[in-house]
Chain A
């Protein structure tokens, strides 16, 4: 039996695999009000005009649930990422709306825009931790190792799944971490050159994107060969062979 549990890359620490199905089930149940609106819309109490108390409470419940299920360390990562995604959206949106309201470009008065973005902030601070909580519950690394160490062989479908898991892990935990460094370096070069033109900015973005794509796809040919060479399932569990006629069998 060929053992193929060789990892080419992957610096990520595998997330704890215990009880992950239960965690996902709990988080999915908690997610129902976010998408259906029920029973959040039944509460008429408002914290400030236009902002429902039910959404404040819901955001709190979601964050407490994620904290309880994932622990302080992981929750800190999740809420940091959620804040990093939410803040630019909310602040830039509120500024654009405010200016549009003041200049008459938007029919909506600035006060209404403010309420909209506070509500959006609450929604995003509930939905993003929830989504990240669900994604981080899935033990990608453990699933990959389980597939690689499967003694009864790996089916074609499992090989595709293995490839997807490996690429996803590689991009999220290796490429993105390196990309921050690349952007920082390119930004310094951009500032040193003192060329603030649009073409220079596009050049900077192009360079970052090409670096990102190259590092994302660089191992894929190698992985395709490695995963493709994994042993197939043994005959007892192999997919049924197509029915052959007597003539073909002869």
Chain B
């Protein structure tokens, strides 16, 4: 039994835990958005918290899998957008915030970037990519430019609330983990 094997297993456990939490956070708290048929949720809190606490690889994996699996329950057309947007969100936040010697300013900058990625990413998917895919595959024909515009504010709100919560969680857990 080597230390690296234990470390790998530990990271696998952490990814599994945050992925399950992101899945549950996305599934349990859902407020539908009439414009696009999408929904508001707080699963991002766990994606952002994972990225802040454990870095870009864990944040990216959690963002890629957890919320996308939740979308499979009831909203399968959004799986693609969710996996891509939230995966990038987790990686970017982890990269900007850094895993060692996190400063508050870097965390805040990372969280602002994550909220921009979340809002902008969904806008790009719903305004251009989904309508383009929808021409070939009717399954994706669920949004258009106007619907994407209408979803900017709810997404911004969702991202901001999740970012505030993730920041608070990271601060508390950072203090807890100090000797």
Contacts and interface: CB of A to CB of B under 8 A. Distances in A.
Interface of A: 35, 37, 85-86, 88-90, 92-93, 96-97, 100, 106, 108, 113, 116-117, 120, 123-124, 127-128, 131, 156, 159-160, 163-164, 166-168, 171-172, 176, 202-203, 205-206, 209-210, 212-214, 216-217, 220-221, 223-225, 227-229
Given A128-B74, A171-B20, A163 B45 contact: no
Nearest 4 Cβ contacts at the A-B interface: A93-B32, A220-B13, A97-B34, A167-B16
B20 A88 contact: no
B133 interface: no
A214 B33 CA distance: 32
Contacts of A166: 13
Contact of B9 (A85, A124, A160): A160
Interface of B: 1, 5-10, 12-14, 16-18, 20-21, 24, 27-28, 30-35, 37, 39, 45-46, 49, 72-74, 76, 138-139, 164-165, 168-169, 172-173, 176
Given A206-B165, A210-B169, A213-B173, A164 B12 contact: yes
Nearest to A156: B5
Contacts of A223: 9, 13
Chain A binding surface SS class: helix
A227 B9 contact: yes
A127 B105 CA distance: 43
Contacts of A89: 30-32, 39, 74
B169 A35 contact: no
Q: Chain A CB within 10 Å — which of B33, B72, B169 has the most? A: B169
A159 B2 CA distance: 14
Nearest to A125: B74
Contact of A96 (B5, B6, B34): B34
Contacts of A210: 169, 172-173
Contact of A171 (B24, B34, B172): B24
Contacts of A163: 9, 12-13, 16
B154 to A, nearest CB: 10
A214 B9 contact: no
A216 B172 contact: no
A171 B168 contact: no
Contacts of A228: 1, 5-6, 9
A206 B24 contact: no
A18 B139 CA distance: 36
A96 B153 CA distance: 15
A131 B21 contact: no
Contacts of B139: 35, 37
Nearest to A92: B31
Given A89-B39, A167-B16, A202-B168, 10 more contacts: A89-B30, A113-B34, A117-B32, A120-B74, A167-B17, A168-B16, A168-B20, A171-B17, A172-B20, A206-B172
Contacts of B46: 209, 213
